[in-house]
Amino acid sequence: MFIGDHYVGKDIHFNLQDGEYWKKTLGPVFIYLNSNSSQNHSGSTRDLLWKDAKAQMQKEVDSWPYNFPASVEFLKSSQRGSVIGRFLIYDRYSNISGKLADVPYVGLALPGQLGSWQAECKGYQFWTRTDTNGYFTINNIIPGNYSLYAWAPGFVGDFMHNVTIPVSAGSKFDVGVLTFQPPRAGPTLWEIGVPDRSAAEFFIPDPDPKYINNLYMNVEKYRQYGLWERYTDLYPKDDLVYKVGTSDYKKDWFFAQVTRNVGNKYSTTTWQIKFNLTNIQQKSFYMLRIAIATAHMARLEVRVNTNGDTLFRTYQFGDGNAIARHGIHGFQWNYEVPIEGKLLFQGENTIFLTQSFGGFAFSGIMYDYLRFEGPYGA
């Protein structure tokens, strides 16, 4: 399972062409066993063992890359290079632009396209986080040519530097100051969730008692088994309706838009987002921005105000399988849906989100974040 497809699916399957040369060094693998010589099996003793294990883990992290492996394929620190730089964010409609309330992730992977690092498994990847001023250093990089990718909690979208970065033994490549302008059409009129590539902030129900795992009742509750079944329990007939300004996404937005089990047949579901507008610009475009944290055997369709003609439709998502495997994120997709002002009403409006692929218990979508933006240039 060093190169598995869980949470991504077939997009990350490993394939070699005829005659293609490939090698990759994995490991070494470290296993640490500690023990308690006393007969005390209390919670405090377990906590001490856990703290000791975490302390040992940090020692191993600080020792990387090891200097003891004899294989010439395992490069020592002196045989690797580094990349430094500064990563800044500019969003003219965000009050946290440039402040980096939650510091960005910056990484190197094989040259590709925007976001392609998510499905890349042939080469090596090296990641770090910036400090609160945006400065970063990536050390111990195996020599080769890389693209630099980044993303930032609190902001939608991916960043990719447009320059290929060469790394050689002992080199220090300075990329300078990089500026990311997240996708944005206009001011935020409303938003649901937090753009962090995860659905963890949404409502996660208590598990069915017959499946309960006491390890995850207070933290990472999404790891409980069978949570997809709870949607039918909570919404046996009518689907979720979210009212902007009244509903709370932490309580009222189910963490996954899954199918409904009706007589052991799994039907599609349509969620509604209701919101009010005034002073609509009929000839302008509004923007619905949808970030999806993961999806499995699903298709999203978007309609506005009449649950009839489809305004936007995704292709059928693949087999990331995060819902069945207790995940909360996987392969990220970002979509923008332009909406003509003439389709909107003064007063209450409704956006319909239909997960249109049924027949399967694990079909569904985990949203990361949704945002409705005002007219372009507003």
pLDDT tens, 300-357? 999 999 867 899 999 988 788 888 888 899 999 999 999 999 999 999 999 999 999 8
* Contact yes or no for 108/138 (Cβ under 8 A): yes
Residues 232-251 have pLDDT tens digits of 999 999 999 999 999 999 99
Q: Is pLDDT of 230 > 70?
A: yes
Report if pTM > 0.95. Answer: no
Concatenating the DSSP letter of every residue in 67-132 gives S----TTS--GGG-EEEEEEEEE--TT-TTTTT-SSPPEEEEESS-STTGGGG--SS--EEEE--T
Domain 188-373 class in CATH: mainly beta
User: What was the pLDDT predicted at 102?
Assistant: 76
Number of helices (H), then strands (E), belonging to the chain: the values are 3, 20
- Residue range(s) of every CATH 2.60.120.260 domain in the chain: 188-373
Paired residues of 82 in beta bridges: 172
Stretch(es) of the chain classified as CATH 2.60.40.1120: 77-180
Domain 77-180 CATH assignment equals 2.60.40.1120:
yes
